[in-house]
Amino acid sequence: MRKGNLFIIIGSCVLALMLILGPGIIAQAAPKTIKISSVLSLTGKFAGMGTQIKPSYEIFLDKINAEGGIFIKKYGKKIPIELRVLDDESDGLKTQAQLEVANSWGAVANLGGLGCASFEMGTPIAMKNKMTWIGPGCGGWMPHQLGNKWLFSIFHKTPFFSPMVFEMIMEQPKPWPKKVAIFEINQLDALETNLYWQQAAKTHGFDIVFHKKYAAGTKDFSALITGAKAAGAEILLAYPLPPMGPTMVKQMKELDFSPKLCFWVRAPESATFGPSLGELSDYITLPCTWSPEYKLPGNDYLIEQYKKKTGKKEADLIVGAAYTAFEVLATGIEKAGSLDRTAIRDAVRATDMETVCGRIRFSDQGWAVDRGLVVLQWMGGKQKIVYANEHAKKYGAKIPVSPLKWQPKWSER
């Protein structure tokens, strides 16, 4: 047999084997999609926040899939993302169950929601399944102190946003309000915040004149309000659940309690808080990691798409952090160059990038370091930035700050 014919025969055999085995090999090597889960609270007490987060994830999903997906070096191609949203019903035990569902489905990572109960209960499952979990919400510090290797949070943490209220006050012209009341809800992240509020008040020379705890199901705040009023409180610190915020405001008006400053975490975050209360919401302040007032690159697109998708007139405050969480995860997956879960985790941990929220970097424990934080104040149905911490100040006019306004007596409004 001539040598040329032999090469032709061998080549034909190799080609035949590639045609027979190739499709199977390719199917295993390059999946059709990158599976990512998102366990959110779409029903239950945190549904108001979960339903704000979901459109943000969908906006980023549509954007990156329109570009072909994420480039995975191992396969030499872009692969689109398949996002599966699972409802935990605002129940930590169901968060655990849904994370197991996501794991069985084959998700390589999970995008979380808002609510520390979900993070506290879900973190052990994410660690057990070796699945990166990155979320926009939860101020809780404790989940990051338990040997965590898989949880990452875009949100600010209790040791950092708690002292902000006093730092903001001390930037105002004197005299400053000094007498503090704390309404403490019985939840882990709120307990942490209360601890740091007390420490910061002592450090900066503020007096805590009233401090009382209440249960998550409380609807009557009259005892707390009259107690704080009798103590002469000028600053009210609280961490109410979203449904409790409007109730608390209305009862404060009924009982004629008007501290110069209300600094509340969580409840005032919703874009509906101001419009639902009208003028009653004026002067309420809250800490946050993002605002529609940010002029950082990418925000115009995000806000426009969010309004178009939801029909809302304003973008909710969690929108920026949610979008950032997905962007950071997608960037991490691309840098990992494969769909190996540990490689993705390590790439996310090494994140150092500018986003619509500003610069994002993580500690070894998964919390965002040197995080730009702001304080917003409700006025006329809108939220204005009235304070920026040192990391947010670095962006100058891209994070515009308006003057803080002290709350007058109800009779003087």
pLDDT of residue 18: 45
pLDDT of residue 145: 78
What band does 20 get if pLDDT is binned at 50, 70 and 90? very low
d(CA 54, CA 33): 20
In a domain, 141, yes or no: yes
Question: Does position 21 have pLDDT exceeding 70, yes or no?
Answer: no
Q: In terms of domains, do 67 and 185 share one?
A: no
Domain count for the chain: 2
pLDDT of residue 200: 96
Q: In terms of domains, do 70 and 137 share one?
A: yes
Question: Which residue reads 């990038």 in tokens?
Answer: 353
The percent of residues above 70 in pLDDT, for the chain, comes to 92
Q: In terms of domains, do 188 and 333 share one?
A: no
> Mean pLDDT throughout 228-248?
93
pLDDT of residue 2: 52
Q: pLDDT per residue over 156-165, tens digit each? A: 888 888 999 9
In a domain, 114, yes or no: yes
Q: In terms of domains, do 62 and 121 share one?
A: yes
Question: Does position 15 have pLDDT exceeding 60, yes or no?
Answer: no
> Mean pLDDT throughout 128-157?
86
Q: pLDDT per residue over 41-79, tens digit each? A: 999 877 878 888 999 999 999 999 999 999 999 999 999
**Encoding tokens for residue 376?**
């917003």
Distance between terminal CA atoms of the chain? 103
Q: In terms of domains, do 85 and 228 share one?
A: no
> Mean pLDDT throughout 345-364?
96
Least confident of 63-77, 135-149, 338-352: 135-149
Contacts of 51 (CB under 8 A, 6+ apart): 42
Q: pLDDT per residue over 181-211, tens digit each? A: 999 998 777 888 999 999 999 999 999 999 9
Question: Does position 371 have pLDDT exceeding 70, yes or no?
Answer: yes
Q: In terms of domains, do 240 and 189 share one?
A: yes
pLDDT of residue 5: 53
Where in the sequence is the domain holding 264, given as residue range(s)? 160-289+373-412
- CA triplet 371, 376, 382: central angle to 5 degrees? 140
In a domain, 228, yes or no: yes
In a domain, 29, yes or no: no
Q: In terms of domains, do 188 and 49 share one?
A: no
**Encoding tokens for residue 38?**
């998102």
Q: In terms of domains, do 39 and 99 share one?
A: yes
β-pairing verdict for 284-288 and 374-379: antiparallel
Q: In terms of domains, do 307 and 224 share one?
A: no
Question: Does position 11 have pLDDT exceeding 80, yes or no?
Answer: no
Q: pLDDT per residue over 264-273, tens digit each? A: 998 898 777 8
CA 347 to chain centre: 20
Which of 348, 344, 350 shows the shortest CA–CA distance to 129?
344
Q: In terms of domains, do 117 and 229 share one?
A: no
> Mean pLDDT throughout 325-342?
98
What band does 27 get if pLDDT is binned at 50, 70 and 90? very low
The CATH number given to whatever domain includes residue 317 is: 3.40.50.2300
User: Read out DSSP for 165-207?
Assistant: HHHHHTTSPSSPP-EEEEEEESSHHHHHHHHHHHHHHHHHT-E
Question: Does position 85 have pLDDT exceeding 60, yes or no?
Answer: yes
Q: In terms of domains, do 277 and 299 share one?
A: no
